Amino acid sequence: MIQIVPAIDIIGGRCVRLSQGDFSRETSYETTPVEMASRFLENGFKSLHVVDLEGAKNGKPANLRSLRELASLGDIKIEWGGGIKTRQDLEAAFEAGASSVVFGTLAVRNPVLFKSFLEEYGPDKITLGADVRGTKVAVGGWMETSDVELSSLISSFLPGLSNVIVTEISRDGMFSGSNPEFFRGLMAGFPGVVFTASGGIGSIPDIEALDNALVPRVIVGKALYEGKIKLEDLALWSRRG
């Protein structure tokens, strides 16, 4: 059964969501990150995917205070990403309460450093976050599309890499559903990697489609904030989240 991981994206300490990674198409919500996380906890979820969008855009963590507040809630695993470029940034994220740290841009632009983090901290603490347009990986908070192919990026960190989050940028925030066949191909090509699908989830059938394709994990964000999916409807999966 697929694991559902609720998402919290943060700018200026506020919960926000973007459409297709476009910062000019930002939707802000009155609910604070802590309030939203508390709702997830109350409904049985134990893991959160949290992105410091401000940090991702500017290349330096900007919302570690929010991370500390989320970690203070107690029994919760936080996978945290956004703007972490140095060992100091990484250590600060762990000290603030991150259970694991997601790297995207750094893995593309400085693969040697990313690999050293992976070797030092282990695959349970270091996750590759690949935001893709087609098969090419985007960097810099999704603002720039690199020439790096997703499959090549994953291959370059094997063996050693075991967790990869793949966000389909064209689908993100659009409620258009994910692409199960895309993830089937990734899982067939990299059987030792645990893939998390992200982008496009807008309904329970969207989740079921990925579940039927045996995708291990899925991130759900904007659909929860805008009532497309209700937390109580996810009770079937929450014990795994």
Query: Among this protein's residues, is 131 annotated catalytic?
Result: yes
What's the per-residue H, E or C state across the chain? Answer: CCEEEEEEEEECCEEEEEECCEEEEEEECCCCHHHHHHHHHHCCCCEEEEEEHHHHHHCCCCCHHHHHHHHCCCCCEEEEECCCCCHHHHHHHHHHCCCEEEECHHHHHCHHHHHHHHHHHCCCCEEEEEEEECCEEEECCCCEEEEEEHHHHHHCCCCCCCEEEEEECCCCCCCCCCCHHHHHHHHHHCCCCEEEEECCCCCHHHHHHHHHCCCCEEEECHHHHCCCCCHHHHHHHHCCC
Given the residues 52, 89, 131, 206, select the one marked as catalytic.
131
Query: Among this protein's residues, is 124 annotated catalytic?
Result: no
Q: Active-site residue numbers?
A: 9, 131
